[in-house]
């Protein structure tokens, strides 16, 4: 519940309903972020230059993650998204997803490069993961150059994931991939993805982020694209190219938060500052909102 009204969500179907005619008293507003992304580990065997995950070794304690999930659920959070690094490199990852799904009513989602998926891993996640995001930056030779893995392998991973849960394709958009958006949308449709999420490249120590010209190309493509797959686009990185006024239906900035593998809660994954979570995660949420 929030100033926008009453938000109903079903984690199995993914259906969201906002009852915006309901006036909710301020004391009943949900205190939790609607969605928390959680970097379980910094470990990942790929070496994408635009990766924002810190390169020092760090991983969250499993029991603390579960306790925080229960606390967030009670405070009105709708979903947790496991990422990293690569979340499937986290020890006993399937068991953690199962425990969170059974102990809370939240959606359990994950973002993965896909290359560790096997039929056994898919079986162990079935019923306890509600949505998967598969990272595919470019197609064919572009993907292989950027990710250093065969494109056929990620296409195989998409086939496996299609038997697990609804899934989407995440694509970092930069000078290498902005010309391949038609091919990416065609790939997403062909493998049965229900969404193509476009992520303008963010600056890291190794890359300057998407250029203004490529950001304009991206927006132009979105405005004219005729795709069968649903499109979603991150505002982060497009600030110069988008209107500053809120877009109708856009989530408030604090609807999402990010917990890094060192246990620091941040407004988003690229934020330089945050609040260490020492005990209660909702206490850290409160401190981050007041910071």
> Which residues of this protein are in contact with ligand SF4, per CB under 6 A?
44, 46-48, 51, 53, 84-86, 113, 135
CB of 212 to ligand SF4, least distance (A): 23
CB of 87 to ligand SF4, least distance (A): 9
- Whichever of 32 and 65 has its CB closer to ligand SF4, that residue is 65
CB of 83 to ligand SF4, least distance (A): 8
- Whichever of 44 and 288 has its CB closer to ligand SF4, that residue is 44
- Whichever of 113 and 258 has its CB closer to ligand SF4, that residue is 113
Residue 23 CB contacts under 8 Å (≥ 6 apart), including other chains: 5
CB of 122 to ligand SF4, least distance (A): 19
CB of 86 to ligand SF4, least distance (A): 5
- Whichever of 70 and 160 has its CB closer to ligand SF4, that residue is 160
CB of 20 to ligand SF4, least distance (A): 36
The residue nearest ligand SF4 at its CB is 51
- Whichever of 85 and 274 has its CB closer to ligand SF4, that residue is 85
Tell me how far apart the alpha carbons of residues 242 and 262 are, in angstroms, rounded to a whole number.
33
- Whichever of 32 and 53 has its CB closer to ligand SF4, that residue is 53
């Amino acid at each position: 519940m929030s100033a926008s009204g009453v938000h109903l969500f079903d984690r199995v179907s993914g259906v969201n309903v906002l009852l915006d005619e309901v006036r909710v008293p301020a004391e009943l507003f949900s205190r939790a972020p609607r969605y928390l992304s959680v970097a379980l580990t910094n470990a990942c065997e790929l070496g994408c230059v635009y990766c924002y995950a810190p390169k020092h070794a760090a991983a969250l304690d499993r029991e603390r993650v579960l306790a925080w999930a229960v606390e967030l659920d009670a405070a009105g959070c709708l979903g947790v998204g496991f990422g990293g690094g690569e979340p499937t490199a986290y020890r006993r990852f399937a068991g953690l997803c199962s425990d969170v799904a059974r102990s809370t009513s939240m959606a359990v989602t994950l973002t993965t490069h896909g290359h560790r998926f096997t039929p056994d891993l898919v079986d162990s996640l079935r019923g306890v993961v509600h949505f998967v995001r598969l990272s595919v930056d470019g197609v064919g030779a572009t993907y292989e150059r950027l990710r250093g893995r065969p494109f056929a392998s990620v296409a195989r991973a998409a086939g496996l994931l299609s038997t697990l849960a609804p899934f989407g394709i995440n694509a970092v958009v930069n000078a290498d991939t902005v010309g391949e958006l038609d091919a990416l949308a065609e790939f997403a449709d062909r493998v049965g993805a229900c969404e193509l999420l476009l992520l303008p490249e963010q600056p890291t120590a190794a890359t300057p982020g998407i250029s203004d010209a490529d950001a304009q190309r991206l927006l132009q493509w979105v405005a004219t694209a005729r795709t069968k797959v649903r499109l979603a686009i991150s505002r982060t990185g497009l600030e110069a190219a988008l209107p500053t006024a809120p877009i109708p239906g856009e989530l408030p900035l604090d609807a999402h938060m990010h917990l890094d593998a060192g246990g620091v809660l941040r407004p988003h994954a690229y934020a330089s500052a945050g609040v260490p979570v020492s005990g209660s995660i909702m206490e850290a949420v409160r401190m981050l909102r007041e910071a």
